[in-house]
Amino acid sequence: MTDITPENRSDGRDLDLGYHATVLAIVSLLVWVGQTIGPAKPLVPGLIALFILYLMTMVGLIITKYAPVRLPSVAWISLVGIILTLPWTPGSAWITDRVANADFLALATPCLAYAGLAIAKREMDVAKTSGWKIAVIAVLVMIGTYLGSAAIAEFFL
């Protein structure tokens, strides 16, 4: 894995669009299978929804590569999605209706799996040097988060 420091951080101009298109296609197919099996979404409408999301993502990546304004790719992809689904955009109702057939929880699964695997060397070094102390802190944080959430839910709900 490469170390992403401020000196070697990419501004998006060096995106390999072919590589990203291939990876997005593979992830889209995995999500399509997952949403067909898990929440039992219909086969063809689910594929159409994922294809529309794929196209939106690719348009956002192309804009990231060639736009004179430098924004992260997630910003451009979000803007493309927002603009295409605004009520006054022609065809927005059709796009919104088709994309509603995508299961967004199934979309999150590959992203979370990648995030879990994409641990940098620095994080591993910190975990090794911290030893058992980091496990205790993690458990305390999880308990605190659970109790805090339960208290807020009890108070407000």
pLDDT mean for each 10 residues of the chain (157 residues): 48 79 90 82 88 95 91 92 94 93 81 74 75 82 92 88
What is this structure's pTM?
Answer: 0.68
The alpha-helical segments, DSSP class H, found in the chain are 17-37, 43-66, 73-85, 92-99, 104-117, 121-130, 132-156
Coil, helix or strand at residue 108: helix
Distance CA 129, CA 139 (A): 18
